[in-house]
Amino acid sequence: MDGVEHASTEVVSWVPTLLEQISQSFEVAEPQDILSWASTTFGDKMTLGTAFGVSGMVLIDMAMKVCKEVDVFYIDTGLFFPETYELIERAEKRYGVRFRRLTPELSVEGQAQAHGARLWEKDSNKCCSMRKVVPLSQAVRGHTAWVTGLRRDQSPTRRHTPVVQWNKKHQLVKIAPLANWTEKDVWTYALKHDVPYNPLHNQGFPSIGCKPCTRAVRPGEDLRAGRWSGSDKTECGLHL
């Protein structure tokens, strides 16, 4: 038994190193090739998470062409913009699928009763944890690979995003096929392939999250400057 446990530990210890090598080999690969590798490698144990920004929509479009049966999930915080809910309906009709919807344990009203109204203004970290981070654990449970729309040009905190990495928290492989793409690359693909996208992108919202915590960006600001504006918060916690 001790020998089996020791061998298992050795295998696990090699996983991050192996994935780092794979990630480096994908530095010049096209996102579609990365998705094809992921689909072939992980099969139905792969899941794609999205918040329906333009990167996420491009990723969905690519994934559907590689593997029509790909599992796509989203975490409905109950605080999306109306335009986001409308986009979800349009996208499901476009691709002929139903995306897997996860929700927080508490409704927005239930959260207000338990923790006070407009918690996002008083403790945005706690709000994000309950409405996004905790449901994520349920979303990826039972999967061995999690595909995300992270890009290095989105913010300083994402500048060193690997294409492939081991996610210790959830004990799975995390894949960012668009890591090397720019905002221009994403929009070029979206417009060329008529990918449905949120109309708020045309109104100064390059990054769209929950309505109470998202504003349009000003000229010269980075792509995620409109998220949690007025605070030093830059991430909701899903990718930390």
- Is 67 labeled as catalytic in the residue annotation? no
Exposure of 187 in the CB half-sphere (CA atoms within 13 A): 7
The CA–CA distances, whole Å, from 20 to 25, 29, 160, 200 equal 9, 15, 13, 36
Question: Which residue in the list 67, 210, 213, 236 is annotated as catalytic?
Answer: 236
Report the alpha-carbon distance of residue 172 to residue 16 in Å, rounded: 10
78: left (phi over 0), alpha (psi -120 to 50) or beta: left
End-to-end CA separation in angstroms for the chain: 35
Q: How many residues does the chain have?
A: 240
Contact assessment for residue 221 and residue 143, using Cβ atoms and an 8 Å cutoff: no
Contact assessment for residue 50 and residue 149, using Cβ atoms and an 8 Å cutoff: yes
For residue 21, give the nearest of 145, 172, 162, 181 by alpha carbon.
162
Contact assessment for residue 123 and residue 117, using Cβ atoms and an 8 Å cutoff: no
Tokens of 130: 């309950």
Residue with tokens 């329906």: 52
Catalytic residues: 236
